[in-house]
């Protein structure tokens, strides 16, 4: 999380900051650290509450992260075009300003809620909680959350998602995992997006990107994908369908107590979670 761009202050935690004191630097730095700790603690509680909502309705929540313009919305558009007939999809869009991305999704006939974060360069669990008030989860199988384009801050905020997908687009360069390790380390799947540009931008070496991922201890599977020529789409859609199945099986074995979604829990993070898919499980 950065402490210079105002990303600590969102609608959800403004009151806590006012009640809890100050964020400006002090000589020891202790006050700032303790406020940030309570912000993240509060965020984690709301995130768990959101996750309980998703689970109660058997909805898989997938958080898409990347730097600005890496192709998150384009991927969602391509996904909707192929999956809309067999899957009920909703999208929560996060941007500092504009409804542009939500409008692109709505044009395809899919429900999209736009969150305008204002000065905040990430989504947080409070914002997702607000959005969920406007979404009847009974109507959906999967909710994609498109986070604000930013390779740093979104990784620090649990939203209540089940899975993180990070896009690394070819024009950005293959060393981004090394430079922004936190986000890539939290990923359950890494997509090398805009793969149609690989022949043109030939200094992006996918194997090198994978080496950088391994060097930061990220063992998430990696997919090369182009939303433009649709190469790699099949593997991505397979991954999505498989994850829905994994979640459904998990919830069958671990049914959610309906009353749970109406209060906060401290201990759910300790529950055994279903395994995520490894590279070897993705068909070539
Ligand atoms: N060549 C190529 N261009 C792409 C691909 N996917 C997206 N783009 C282009 O990249 C630009 C940004 O795409 P978006 O889908 O808006 O990216 P985004 O990550 O949603 O952007 P923000 O929401 O602003 O962070 C657009 O001009 C797209 O047409 C792709 O697979 N190949
Ligand atoms: Mg977008």
Supply the residue whose CA is at minimum distance from atom 7 of ligand 1.
Answer: 71
- The pTM score is 0.86
From the CB of residue 16, how many other CB atoms can be counted at a distance below 10 Å?
Answer: 16
Give the atom of ligand 1 at the shortest distance from the alpha carbon of 226.
31
**Closest by Cα among 104, 92, 94 to 135:** 92
Domain architecture of the chain: domains with CATH:
22-254+270-281 (3.40.50.300)
How much distance in Å is there from the Cα of 72 to the middle of ligand 1? 7
How much distance in Å is there from the Cα of 95 to the middle of ligand 2? 8
Cβ of residue 194 lying under 6 Å from some atom of ligand 1 = yes
Which of 63, 71, 223 gets mutated to test ligand 1 (max ligand atoms within 8 A of its CB)?
A: 71
Which of 65, 69, 151, 231 gets mutated to test ligand 1 (max ligand atoms within 8 A of its CB)?
A: 69
Q: What is the per-residue pLDDT for 128?
A: 97
Cβ neighbors of 148 (< 8 A, separation 6 or more) are 94, 95, 96, 117, 120, 121, 122, 123, 154
pLDDT per residue as tens, the chain (284 positions): 445 445 566 667 666 655 554 454 556 656 666 667 777 889 999 999 999 999 999 999 999 999 999 999 999 999 999 997 899 999 999 999 999 999 999 999 999 999 999 888 999 999 999 999 999 999 999 999 999 999 999 998 999 999 999 999 999 999 999 999 999 999 999 999 999 999 999 999 999 999 999 999 999 999 999 999 999 999 999 999 999 999 999 999 988 877 665 544 343 444 455 555 445 545 43
């Amino acid at each position: 999380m950065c402490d210079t761009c105002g990303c600590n202050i969102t609608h959800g935690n403004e009151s806590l900051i006012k009640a809890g004191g100050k964020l400006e630097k002090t000589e020891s730095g202790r006050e700032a650290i303790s406020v940030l700790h309570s912000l993240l603690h509060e965020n984690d509680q709301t995130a768990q509450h959101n996750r309980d909502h998703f689970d109660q309705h058997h909805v898989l929540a997938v958080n898409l992260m990347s730097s600005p313009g890496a192709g998150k919305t384009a991927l969602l558009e391509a996904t909707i075009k192929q999956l809309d007939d067999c899957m009920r999809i909703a999208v929560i869009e996060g941007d500092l300003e504009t409804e542009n991305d939500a409008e692109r999704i709505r044009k395809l006939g899919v429900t999209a809620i736009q969150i305008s974060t204002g000065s905040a360069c990430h989504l947080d669990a409070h914002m997702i909680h607000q959005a969920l008030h406007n979404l009847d989860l009974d109507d959906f199988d999967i909710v994609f959350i498109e986070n604000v384009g930013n390779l740093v801050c979104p990784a620090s905020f649990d939203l209540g998602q089940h899975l993180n997908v990070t896009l690394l687009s070819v024009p950005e360069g293959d060393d981004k995992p090394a430079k922004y390790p936190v986000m890539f380390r939290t990923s359950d799947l890494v997509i090398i997006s805009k793969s149609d540009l690989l022949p043109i931008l030939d200094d992006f070496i996918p194997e090198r990107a994978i080496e950088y991922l391994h060097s930061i201890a990220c063992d998430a599977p990696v997919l090369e994908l182009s939303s433009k020529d649709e190469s790699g789409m099949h593997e991505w859609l397979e991954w999505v369908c498989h994850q829905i199945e994994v979640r459904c099986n998990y919830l069958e074995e671990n049914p959610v107590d309906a009353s749970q979604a109406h209060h906060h829990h401290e201990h759910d993070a300790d529950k055994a979670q279903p395994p995520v898919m490894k590279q070897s499980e993705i068909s070539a």
